[in-house]
Amino acid sequence: MSEHQRLGILLSGRGSNFLAIADAIASGKLAGAKIVVVISNKADAPGLAAARELDLNAVAIEACGRKRAEHDAEIIACLRKHEVDLICLAGYMRLLSQEFIATFPQRILNIHPSLLPAFPGLDAQQQAFDYGVKVAGCTVHFVDEQLDHGVIVLQKTVPVLDGDDAHTLAARILEQEHIAYSEAIERVLSGKFRILGRRYLPQN
């Protein structure tokens, strides 16, 4: 990985995956990357406050009452200003416009708390629990125009225990999310991969 590839984080809430990425960078596990801007569509997002505590650029670009295209255009401008190499969605609760995705092709990652294509959308952990699956997990994938649909970079599995409820299952999935996201970022930033159809293929 080349030195100091620039990450832009988009979040709407507490940003636990953002903090896990920041920890991985600080500890050297995700060497050569740095977070250059954290953007939220909610001014009161706890993740923004956490970013400020880490002396990171933290920007609120509120979505309320605005057209998606206008809102996304402002975020795109901010990401370009900070010369972002890779965008990481960390609990960003808005669908991105086609224009946004087209501006950063194969440069937007998302993490989802299920083994896609199973259980896309909201409350994936509850969906998995209600369905009665024996194995759950998380998926890091490129973002495309469809919800939770882009090419899969990495997945991690979590067994569903007999004593689980949706909350305990979600907590164990989250532990794996915090590991998986940094691993996936490192893989993508290395550039040592190609995409064939829907398949992500690592290359030496």
Structure tokens at 153: 């970079």
**Catalytic residue list contains 149:** no
Distance CA 43, CA 58 (A): 10
The pair phi, psi for residue 53, each rounded to 5°, is -65, -25
- Find the helix or strand (DSSP H, E) in which 52 lies: helix 46-53
Structure tokens at 185: 């970022």
Q: Are 124 and 112 in contact (CB under 8 A)?
A: yes
**Between the CA of residue 168 and those of 109, 111, 140, 150, 171, what are the distances in Å?**
26, 19, 21, 28, 5
**Between the CA of residue 187 and those of 31, 48, 61, 138, 203, what are the distances in Å?**
12, 26, 29, 16, 10
Structure tokens at 183: 């691993």
18 torsion bin: left (phi>0), alpha (psi -120 to 50), beta (else): alpha
Select which of 82, 112, 141, 149 is catalytic.
Answer: 112
Catalytic residue positions, numbered: 112
